[in-house]
Structure 1
Amino acid sequence: MNGRLVARRVGIVALCVLSLVACVGLAWWQWQRFESASGTWQNLGYVLQWPLFGLFPAFMFWRLRKLRAQHSRAQHSAQHHAAPQPPEPPPKPPRAPERPARQDEDDPELAAYNDYLAELNARHQETQR
């Protein structure tokens, strides 16, 4: 590992530890507020939440490392197992059957919309087979 990567990881770990320490301190403060005469159940809820907030950066660091390792393993296995094949061209969509002209529709916009719907239906029927 190079020095820059080590420094980055040390910085991330230091940030995670600092976050945990700060959030545990806030949890302690909320516990003192809960025990005081003006304390409420909301303060107790914060006592339970603050440590989770403090652990979240460490969890994210662990999760990102795990995902990066999975991604690199997948790339490594894909490179060694199979040669890349050219992708097949997508099939051409079927043409909608020619429909006779409708004499009862005077609106060309409505006729174009109906033709479009018929084409979509024909495509759907082809994919269902």
Structure 2
Amino acid sequence: MQGLFTPQRLAVGAVCLAALVVCCGLAYWQWERFSEAGGTFQNLGYVFQWPLFGLFPAFMVWRIRRLDARRKAEEAAEAAAAGAHEAAPEPVAAPSKPVVTVEPVRAPAHDDEDDELAAYNRMLAQLHARDQR
């Protein structure tokens, strides 16, 4: 198992912390500009926005780690399922001929329907039918 404080993790943590510090500094700078006589509400908006920008790298690290853990769990489950199936393989019958039936999706026509909207809906139905093949 990997150590808790690997150089890569420390570097990622340092970058996240630096981003938060820099963005909080920018928020303070915007607060100072808002407090001046010529300050606007746009500056006040940036006061709230910059800390969120600073937290975003940490959120991305958390999200990537969570997705990686989910992917590893799914791979382990697939490996376990494959191991269970290796003991007794099931016979697979080869299909003689693939049969594909696709019926176009037809929306009920309304009198108040826009012609452009109807054409768009027909195009979507055709794309859906093509994807089903």
Q: If the TM-score is normalised by the length of the shorter chain, which range does it land in? A: 0.5 to 0.7
Q: CA deviation at 1:2?
A: 6.5
Find runs of 4+ consecutive structure 1 residues off by over 4 angstroms.
84-91
CA RMSD of aligned residues (A): 2.9
Pair 36,80 (structure 1): closer, same or farther in 2 beyond 3 Å: same
TM-score by length of 1: 0.63
Question: CA–CA distance in 1 between the matches of 2:30 and 2:79?
Answer: 53
Matched position secondary structure for 2:37: coil
1:95-110 equivalences under 5 Å are: none
Question: CA–CA distance in 2 between the matches of 1:88 and 1:64?
Answer: 41
Structure 1: unaligned runs, 5 residues or longer: 95-123
Further displaced range: 9-18 or 81-90: 81-90
1:82-121 equivalences under 5 Å are: 82=82, 83=85, 92=98
> How many residues of Structure 1 are paired with residues of Structure 2 in the alignment?
95
Task: Find the counterpart in structure 1 of residue 8 from structure 2.
Answer: 8
Pair 89,25 (structure 1): closer, same or farther in 2 beyond 3 Å: farther
Question: CA–CA distance in 1 between the matches of 2:40 and 2:94?
Answer: 65
1:18-29 equivalences under 5 Å are: 18-29=18-29
Q: Which has the larger radius of gyration?
A: 1
Further displaced range: 76-85 or 30-39: 76-85
Q: CA deviation at 1:6?
A: 1.1
Structure 2: unaligned runs, 5 residues or longer: 101-128
Q: Deviations over 1:86-109 (max 9, x none)?
A: 998785356xxxxxxxxxxxxxxx
TM-score by length of 2: 0.62
Letter in 1 for 2:98: K
